[in-house]
Structure 1
């Protein structure tokens, strides 16, 4: 989480609480008169005339054909749809300002990441959709395959938002050509993994006749800014986690303080000192890492499963390199890949017809029909087609589903919209584009899905909102001290205590356990 947002969020959430206390937030659905308004005389839900939706850039932007998506959605429902779509990078600043400005300015529906979701839910800004979901046609259909994903978004047993996809996560890709050139099999243990890194760094894995002019892997930093934090270097972290999680008794603790995390730092430092890890890792962005992989400077890359597997493969091919990548099965010590908590669609407590909005907007995204096609692939003739034609150099026969050329990125084709077909949490037997999913994308996502566990959603508390931004920044600095600067573990953790890290950590842990106790 970014430090700046933490300070903004605390104020914004406080404003939301004030609004709820002063304005009766969360009480809209409690009176009989309002219940009558929501249903027709026949007991059917009243269809709202208009639904306002606040979303980030994961929904097609205006440049990417959003108007066409909006028009098609309105054709399918007969409801006016209005998008509020701030710039993607400024999205949560605008979300905070919107909630703080009062209920009259809130949208009916809003897309929130897990952190913001838990905060706004606990401040009373979001509608409790638990009963509606439990009694919904979707729930009764038996089509849900991701019940665990939905359950992972419950707050004290309640649902204030619904995911429409799995969260996804990162898997480690290894260049098969490099393994072959070094005479290595796919590693299954950490020792074998290290041996591969050594060979990729000191040998001639790229086959250019020069030993030692490559490094095994690169990453965008040693510790992420937000959950799940360790996803770019999982084989080193293994069972260690640098943030808040629960023990076997359900008690919260800070994994950064545990011995297994200190052991992980030593593993990282050892590999870094030996040159197995790119020396620019601390300052790399994800695009830097991708480019080094495409330039054959590294042979191991932990990145998103699914669509990105095909992106990596195709870019290697464009650079004239061997494009066969092996999605690495879990090494013994890792145990599982970590799946990030998904974004959720929430209905605010200012919405006049929440049950209808749930049915017509959220639930319909997973209808297994026209609406799911719309949210997954976009609009026919704008984002995809089945016509016989050539797109971006690829030729398709009549009836063959394929993405059209991107309006925003000419020379590339659309592969999906808001929803990823490989991350669906419902059975979708009639998926029209399933055969268009590249084999590499499908294989990597299947391996990930079979070997992942969902990251734990951490509740919001005042202490979390106040201190965790600075605490996470300090933790990342401590990690750099140990791995890059060679500081001893003892010295690093003395600095952590001196600069208030232990104090902040304990305050957050206490607040989380106090919250858990009061909710029981």
Structure 2
């Protein structure tokens, strides 16, 4: 069964820590014979004689940690959802870090074990769709009450998830992305303004590295920027260091002629490697960047070890500010518009809710589970903020250092992370694709979060979905590992660009790359 082959390959890549580029595969989205049969039987089972969508008695879902976890009282969440819908909900929730491994194992075990609905990162979604594992929900969306309501604020987010014009997964939120934050106090101490070009950006890093931006009276005990790796763990791969990558990308991209090419082999990527190598050698980039995790970077940022941090737009602006202040630092951050050479930040493809092709009543799951998340009422409230008096409340009370009057909406203290307040549950209201006029938490969003999200949304472009092919599933895991190793050699070890690409040729990378590019262009030609 080809599904097993594809998913096994995906799991191997995940375990090799090069999850993204392999999972980023997907193709035309054409159905297999098995999918068509399942979808047709599901359609018949999902409608009454009068054509009405049947309400499911039970829905089984598999989700990661972005949905309310056991530690955060998932039982209360599940109970409230069942009260609102009258449907039994079974939640399968592996550990967040192991989610795609477990999901792959589940699908490889056969359709009889598949849940009704699953949550997929944009980089994994196309591969599952192309293998016939997902139900085509195009018609369900086109005929939905949500679409007719006019409340969807940006249908391009949905359109971006279509594969050959068909929709196999529904994004309830935008994909969001990373924006560059700069400590304003550091800019002020160095007499600088927010950079608008790469030269200005590099000059800022130099000042933050060689001067005394933290004001402790010592020059040169800080550095400019840090990141969780030189290549990100998921698309768009370059989002933690956009000013260095600019228009370059290590993955597969479409050229101006509309044909696929490997971004890693292009001259603009070689130029990006040189920028990274030079800045690293100058000490502007954290020397531990290769092995950093995002938590490592955040802690160093809070400790005032560096001043420029490209991280998630929106709610994280508030989180960064609060944690800086909790560490006795100035919390004011400047969310940068993209410098001239970057042009636009890249918004990752949105995570999607998908219905498996083995689901007996896919129309019912779409209407009563997925569509209801954006009902503009109690169900959207649940998915956005959680359960009243568990995750949020309107009672008069003091939460941590904040006192609230009776009737004022506020988030409660996190059960999983005591000492902090919740900001949201599964759906970030600032990223929701549907307008919600009665959002009770609208006023709880801090000014800095609104500002960073607005700057990002106005200066971002959506990442494109890369199709899937057999050749990609076969070679892209090893290719990605080799690419990441070469990036590390150039940046950290100072290996020359010429020697790096000679290694790429010698160890098979050039051949794997060409085979994948050829397969992508063959697929494109068939459209």
Shorter-normalised TM range: over 0.9
**Conserved? CA contact 1:26–1:126, under 8 Å:** no
- The CA deviation string for residues 124-160 of structure 1, in whole angstroms up to 9 with x for no partner, is 1110001111111111111111211111111111100
Counterpart pick for 2:440 among 432, 435, 453: 432
Question: Unaligned stretches of 5+ in structure 2?
Answer: 1-9
**Conserved? CA contact 2:11–2:104, under 8 Å:** no
Residue in 1 aligned with 2:406? Answer: 398
- Distance of 1:39 and 1:304 partners within structure 2: 42
- Distance of 1:115 and 1:229 partners within structure 2: 11
Q: Tell me whether 1:494 sits opposite 2:499 in the alignment.
A: no
- In the TM superposition, residue 339 of structure 1 has moved relative to its aligned partner by 0.8
Could you say what secondary structure the match of 2:146 adopts? helix
**Conserved? CA contact 1:255–1:261, under 8 Å:** yes
Could you say what secondary structure the match of 1:279 adopts? coil
**Conserved? CA contact 1:225–1:472, under 8 Å:** no
Q: Tell me whether 1:191 sits opposite 2:191 in the alignment.
A: no
Could you say what secondary structure the match of 1:245 adopts? strand
Q: Tell me whether 1:270 sits opposite 2:278 in the alignment.
A: yes
CA RMSD of aligned residues (A): 2.1
- Distance of 1:306 and 1:278 partners within structure 2: 25
Residue in 1 aligned with 2:364? Answer: 356
- In the TM superposition, residue 209 of structure 1 has moved relative to its aligned partner by 1.3
Residue in 1 aligned with 2:317? Answer: 309
Residue in 1 aligned with 2:66? Answer: 58
Counterpart pick for 2:221 among 197, 213, 236: 213
Residue in 2 aligned with 1:5? Answer: 14
- The CA deviation string for residues 324-380 of structure 1, in whole angstroms up to 9 with x for no partner, is 000011111110111111111011111111111100000111111111111011111
Could you say what secondary structure the match of 1:422 adopts? coil
**Conserved? CA contact 2:175–2:351, under 8 Å:** yes
- Distance of 1:123 and 1:130 partners within structure 2: 17
- In the TM superposition, residue 29 of structure 1 has moved relative to its aligned partner by 3.9
Q: Tell me whether 1:235 sits opposite 2:214 in the alignment.
A: no
Residue in 2 aligned with 1:49? Answer: 57
- In the TM superposition, residue 42 of structure 1 has moved relative to its aligned partner by 4.0
Counterpart pick for 1:30 among 32, 40, 63: 40
- In the TM superposition, residue 261 of structure 1 has moved relative to its aligned partner by 0.6
- Distance of 2:177 and 2:288 partners within structure 1: 23
- Distance of 1:220 and 1:95 partners within structure 2: 25
- Distance of 1:2 and 1:300 partners within structure 2: 34
CA distance 1:265–1:3, change in 2 (3 Å) = farther
Q: 1:14-25 maps to which residues of 2 (within 5 A)?
A: 24-25=34-35
- In the TM superposition, residue 202 of structure 1 has moved relative to its aligned partner by 1.0
- The CA deviation string for residues 90-131 of structure 1, in whole angstroms up to 9 with x for no partner, is 111111111111111111111111232111111111100011
**Conserved? CA contact 1:6–1:469, under 8 Å:** no
- Distance of 1:37 and 1:126 partners within structure 2: 17
Q: 1:132-151 maps to which residues of 2 (within 5 A)?
A: 132-151=140-159
- The CA deviation string for residues 49-88 of structure 1, in whole angstroms up to 9 with x for no partner, is 1111111111011121111111111111111111111111
Q: Tell me whether 1:380 sits opposite 2:383 in the alignment.
A: no
CA distance 1:3–1:267, change in 2 (3 Å) = farther
- Distance of 2:13 and 2:44 partners within structure 1: 44
* TM-score (ref. length: structure 2): 0.93
- Distance of 1:512 and 1:456 partners within structure 2: 14
Residue in 1 aligned with 2:92? Answer: 84
- In the TM superposition, residue 39 of structure 1 has moved relative to its aligned partner by 2.6
- Distance of 2:456 and 2:11 partners within structure 1: 27
- In the TM superposition, residue 265 of structure 1 has moved relative to its aligned partner by 0.8
**Conserved? CA contact 2:39–2:135, under 8 Å:** no
- Distance of 2:226 and 2:386 partners within structure 1: 34
- Distance of 2:383 and 2:335 partners within structure 1: 28
**Conserved? CA contact 2:45–2:360, under 8 Å:** no
- Distance of 1:287 and 1:211 partners within structure 2: 26
Could you say what secondary structure the match of 1:216 adopts? strand
CA distance 1:478–1:29, change in 2 (3 Å) = closer
- In the TM superposition, residue 38 of structure 1 has moved relative to its aligned partner by 2.8
Question: Unaligned stretches of 5+ in structure 1?
Answer: none
Residue in 1 aligned with 2:183? Answer: 175
- Distance of 1:503 and 1:36 partners within structure 2: 47
**Conserved? CA contact 2:244–2:276, under 8 Å:** yes
Counterpart pick for 2:517 among 505, 509, 513: 509
